[in-house]
């Protein structure tokens, strides 16, 4: 008997992943390995095994109680739970209506064993990378991808031109069969394994798609990305997913946003944070410094006595809000840099300066020393 892989490894998530991460990982894998999308894989055999493996992992990890037992005892802790290795792919889909119910009607209707009608196509996902400047201004991106589209030769029927699918002999065109279970005490209505719930089978396969009703097609689309988007948000392009069957609407294309790290700025909501190093003499005397913005350089006046870590604001130099369109600020944080090497003259000047320090020039230091004295003396 083959050893089961760790469920977290199967889904490609960490043990600290939350429910939404687990759901998203399963959805991605289920769409990747569903046999309908892997017709060239020896009839979908290898992909179907992987699909069942990730479904079993999700069935356990999506349930808080089962996940806790699995985390504590491993596979032994969930023995007797669902084993999908011998289940029909369609029946597995019916168990996860919260994920797939809106992506093809593979939920409630099939759970009742009803004949399958037009199915919405699978959604597709891709990633669009933006610079911080493009986040500020918005952008248009051209996306090239390949999807399974309706076969032009058979128009999605899977049948050779001039022929048609025939009524399934196993279910009589109903798309469902009744099975006896538990010593004849119960009857189960399930999707017909011969036609997979369609009620019809193709005898003369289309030479172009080999009976799948689909063919790979390259697509090039332009997506408009509004200003102010955040990492991980998605732009949906309706109808650019895979073709539905038979005759169902196409799915959508989800374009997830990735923002390139910026060498200077970090983002905090609509504000930009920039850390600027200055010399300790500049901080002590004050003056004007040049700071970068997304649109060039700006002059910033800093007062004498500026402290390390102090923050100054450049109004309206941040990013626009996605919904409010209100522009944030740029927050300039001062870092005071201490020189590592000094000339003899510089050392003497600093010694002369230190000799003039009567404690009044650095009140925070004096206050700290007074408190320290109280702690040490117990006063």
Q: Could you write out the DSSP letters of every residue in 192-223?
A: -TTTTTSSEE-SSB-TTTTTSSEEEEEEEEEE
Higher pLDDT, 220 or 376: 220
Mean pLDDT to the nearest integer, 343-362: 84
Residue ranges of the alpha helices (H) in 203-308?
A: 280-285
- The reported pLDDT for the residue numbered 106 is 41
- The reported pLDDT for the residue numbered 43 is 46
- The reported pLDDT for the residue numbered 103 is 41
Say yes or no to pLDDT of 293 above 60: yes
Distance CA 51, CA 23 (A): 14
3-class state of residue 64 by DSSP: helix
Say yes or no to pLDDT of 145 above 70: yes
For the stretch 4-23, pLDDT in tens is 889 999 998 898 888 888 98
> What percent of the chain has a predicted confidence (pLDDT) above 90?
35
- The reported pLDDT for the residue numbered 262 is 94
Contact 164, 157 (CB under 8 A): yes
For the stretch 238-268, pLDDT in tens is 999 888 876 678 889 999 999 999 999 999 9
Say yes or no to pLDDT of 299 above 50: yes
Higher pLDDT, 243 or 223: 223
Mean pLDDT to the nearest integer, 34-61: 74
Higher pLDDT, 375 or 363: 375
Say yes or no to pLDDT of 121 above 90: no
Residues with Cβ < 8 Å from 233, sequence gap 6 or more?
A: 256, 257, 322
Say yes or no to pLDDT of 368 above 90: no
Buried b / exposed e over 232-248, threshold 16 CB at 10 Å, is eebbebeebbbbbbbeb
Q: In Å, what is the CA distance from 298 to each residue of 289, 294, 302?
A: 8, 10, 13
Q: Which residues pair with 287 in a beta bridge?
A: 302
- The reported pLDDT for the residue numbered 309 is 93
Say yes or no to pLDDT of 303 above 50: yes
At 215, the pLDDT band (50, 70, 90 cuts) reads confident
According to DSSP, residue 273 is labeled E
At 183, the pLDDT band (50, 70, 90 cuts) reads very low
Chain-wide mean pLDDT for the chain? Answer: 82
Distance CA 79, CA 83 (A): 9
- The reported pLDDT for the residue numbered 359 is 67
- The reported pLDDT for the residue numbered 311 is 96
- The reported pLDDT for the residue numbered 20 is 85
The angle formed by the CA atoms of residues 302, 303 and 309, to the nearest 5 degrees, is: 65
Higher pLDDT, 74 or 101: 74
- The reported pLDDT for the residue numbered 76 is 82
- The reported pLDDT for the residue numbered 156 is 81
- The reported pLDDT for the residue numbered 101 is 46
Distance CA 107, CA 99 (A): 9
Least confident span in 23-32, 97-106, 202-211: 97-106
Tokens of 270: 């609509």
Mean pLDDT to the nearest integer, 96-117: 46
Contact 60, 78 (CB under 8 A): yes
Higher pLDDT, 34 or 144: 144
Mean pLDDT to the nearest integer, 76-103: 58
Say yes or no to pLDDT of 179 above 80: no
- The reported pLDDT for the residue numbered 178 is 78
Contact 156, 242 (CB under 8 A): no
Alpha carbon dihedral 244, 245, 247, 252, in 10-degree steps, equals: 0
Higher pLDDT, 340 or 183: 340
Predicted structure pTM score: 0.60
Task: Give the position of tokens 């022929």.
Answer: 163
Distance CA 5, CA 23 (A): 18
């Amino acid at each position: 008997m083959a050893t089961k892989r760790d469920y977290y490894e199967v889904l490609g998530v960490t043990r600290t992943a939350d429910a939404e991460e687990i759901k998203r990982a399963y959805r991605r894998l289920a769409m990747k390995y569903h046999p309908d999308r892997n017709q060239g894989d020896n009839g979908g055999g290898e992909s179907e095994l992987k699909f069942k493996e990730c479904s079993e992992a999700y069935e356990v990890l999506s349930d808080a109680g089962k996940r806790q037992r699995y985390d504590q005892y491993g596979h032994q802790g969930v023995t007797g739970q669902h084993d999908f290795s011998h289940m029909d792919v369609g029946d597995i889909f019916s168990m996860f209506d919260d994920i797939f119910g809106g992506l093809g009607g593979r939920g409630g209707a099939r759970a009742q064993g009803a004949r399958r009608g037009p199915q919405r196509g699978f959604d597709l996902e891709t990633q669009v990378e933006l610079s911080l400047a493009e986040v500020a201004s918005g952008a248009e991106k051209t996306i090239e991808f390949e999807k399974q589209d309706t076969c032009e030769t058979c128009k999605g029927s899977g049948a050779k031109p001039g022929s048609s699918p025939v009524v399934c002999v196993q279910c009589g065109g109903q798309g469902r069969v009744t099975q006896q279970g538990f010593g004849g005490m119960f009857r189960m209505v399930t999707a017909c394994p011969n036609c997979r719930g369609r009620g019809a089978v193709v005898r003369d396969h289309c030479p172009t798609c080999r009976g799948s009703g689909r063919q790979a097609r390259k697509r090039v689309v332009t997506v408009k990305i509004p200003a102010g988007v955040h990492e991980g948000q998605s732009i949906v392009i309706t109808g650019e997913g895979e073709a539905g069957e038979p005759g169902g609407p196409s799915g959508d294309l989800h374009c997830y946003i990735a923002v390139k790290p910026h060498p200077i700025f970090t983002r905090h909501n609509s504000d930009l944070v920039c850390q600027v190093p200055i010399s300790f003499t500049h901080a002590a005397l004050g003056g004007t410094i040049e700071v970068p913005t997304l649109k060039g350089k700006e002059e910033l006046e800093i007062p004498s006595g500026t402290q390390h870590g102090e923050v100054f604001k450049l109004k309206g130099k941040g990013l626009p809000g996605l919904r409010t369109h209100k522009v944030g600020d740029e927050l300039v944080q001062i870092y005071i840099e201490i020189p590592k090497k000094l000339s003899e003259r510089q050392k003497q000047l600093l010694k002369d300066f230190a000799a003039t320090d009567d404690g009044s020039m650095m009140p925070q230091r004096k206050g700290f020393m007074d408190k320290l004295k109280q702690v040490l003396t117990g006063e």
